[in-house]
A and B are shown apart, each in its own frame.
Chain A
Amino acid sequence: DGGITQSPKYLFRKEGQNVTLSCEQNLNHDAMYWYRQDPGQGLRLIYYSQIVNDFQKGDIAEGYSVSREKKESFPLTVTSAQKNPTAFYLCASRSYAEAFFGQGTRLTVV
Chain B
Amino acid sequence: AQSVTQLDSQVPVFEEAPVELRCNYSSSVSVYLFWYVQYPNQGLQLLLKYLSGSTLVESINGFEAEFNKSQTSFHLRKPSVHISDTAEYFCAVSVLDFGNEKLTFGTGTRLTIIP
A positions within 8 Å CB-CB of B: 4, 6, 31, 33, 35, 40-45, 48, 50, 56, 58, 88, 90, 92, 94, 97-104, 106
Chain A residues near B43 (CB, 8 Å)?
A: 4, 6, 90, 92, 101-104
Interface residues of B, count at CB 8 A: 24
CB <8 Å contact, A45 and B49: no
Q: Find B107's partner among A33, A41, A58, A99 (CB 8 Å cutoff).
A: A41
Q: Is the CB of B42 within 8 A of A94?
A: no
In the complex, what's the smallest C-beta–C-beta distance from A99 to chain B, in angstroms? Answer: 6
> B90 near A48 (CB under 8 angstroms)?
no
A64→B107 CA distance, assembly (Å):
21
How many whole Å from A110's CB to the nearest CB in chain B?
A: 19
Q: Is the CB of B106 within 8 A of A42?
A: yes
Complex contact B108–A98 (CB within 8 A):
no
Query: Does B32 belong to the interface (CB within 8 Å)?
Result: yes
Asked if B42 and A42 sit within 8 Å, CB to CB, the answer is no
Residues of B within 8 A of A92 (CB): 43-44, 103
Q: How far is the CB of B16 from chain A (nearest CB, A)?
A: 29
Q: Do A94 and B101 touch (CB < 8 A)? A: yes
User: Residue on B with the closest CB to A9?
Assistant: B41
- Distance in angstroms from A15 CB to nearest chain B CB is 24
Is there contact, CB below 8 Å, between A45 and B42?
A: no
Bound Cα distance A97, B57 (Å)? 14
A selection of 17 A-B contacts at a CB cut-off of 8 Å is A6-B43, A33-B103, A41-B107, A43-B90, A48-B103, A50-B99, A58-B102, A92-B44, A94-B103, A97-B49, A97-B51, A99-B34, A99-B44, A99-B92, A100-B46, A101-B44, A106-B41
Q: Does B104 contact A (CB under 8 A)?
A: yes
Alpha-carbon gap, A42 to B106, bound state (A): 6
Given A43-B105, A45-B104; A104-B41 close (CB under 8 Å): yes
Residues of B within 8 A of A94 (CB): 101, 103
B101 touches A48 (CB 8 A): yes
User: Which residue of chain A lies nearest to B46 when distances are taken between CB atoms in the complex?
Assistant: A98
